[in-house]
Structure 1
Amino acid sequence: MDYDALEEQGIIPNRFVTNSGHSIHYTDIDGELVIFMDDPDVHYYTNAQPMNEKTAKLTPKNKLIAFVLLPLYQIVLFLITNIIVMYLKGTWLYFDVWGFLGFLIIVLAVCYILNPVFDAFDFNNIYIRNGEASLIEKIKRFKGIFIIFTVAPILAGLLALNTN
């Protein structure tokens, strides 16, 4: 944690040393206690619950992005790729339903299970720790992950129709 940078922004962190010698940094922002959880050897608890990213809540905006917009974005990319390839191959009458259903299951598994439960694709960092950032800021900060979420559906769309 860069405490000098915090002080430059007008946030003055205080320090408390526990009986075991661990330093806990904290401050008061608009009447709210803010604890800087920067020591991996210290376990933080509040109301008998450990404090970590799992106890943090997704904002409605981030729920919309993570669970609605991201899956729709990937599905639309997959379908656009399918349509372009069908047009180029002249196979308008053949739509690979099984390929689409397989891709849909993978997208839903990633967006609804792997990301939130197993923190796949840095889910906690994008949607909880950087929850206040706009979608554009999230894309700029986590380019690699969003590139994967763009390229994977396009490749899947190409591969699904390549089997004909």
Structure 2
Amino acid sequence: MINGAFGSGKTSAAHWLQSLIPDSMIFDPEEVGYMLRNIIPEEIRLKEEQTDDFQDLELWRILVVKTAEELKRRYNKSLIVPMTLYKAEPFDYIFDGLKRLDPDFFHFCLIASETTIRKRVESRGDLFGEWYQEHTRRAVPAFDESKFQEQILTDHREPSEIVGMILDRIYNR
């Protein structure tokens, strides 16, 4: 699991890792969130789920774990799971669920400053508008909690260096 704020380098690291780890595949839980957003109209969601954040959908966290379980069972591949997951309840549920699926489970939290995140978001053609700012301001301080302590600072690091650090940790426990 590669966790971190939007723009911290998760997707880049995931794609590099997928090319370097034999029998691996990327499972992006955002796709589950997009599916749920398309099939569950906001007006029928529970009041606490009427936000713009997948983490607030209880069904999202359940389906993330169930989908990972089915992918693992059916294809028997190592899953590389990039996601921004900083709220305690969904993090604990998904973390525990993924850990049960694989005894060799790792969680890495990529950390970057708001300045770096803004630069990366804008370099990929997105506007670092209100939505990104709000989520960045919530996520960055949340990742200081002890549950996110397998941290890799990505400011001033190339994706190859970040991937090297992850691989070193995985293969040299």
TM range (shorter): under 0.3
Larger RCO, structures 1/2 (Cα 8 Å, 6+ apart): 2
Larger Rg: 1
Q: TM-score, normalised by structure 1?
A: 0.26
Q: TM-score, normalised by structure 2?
A: 0.25
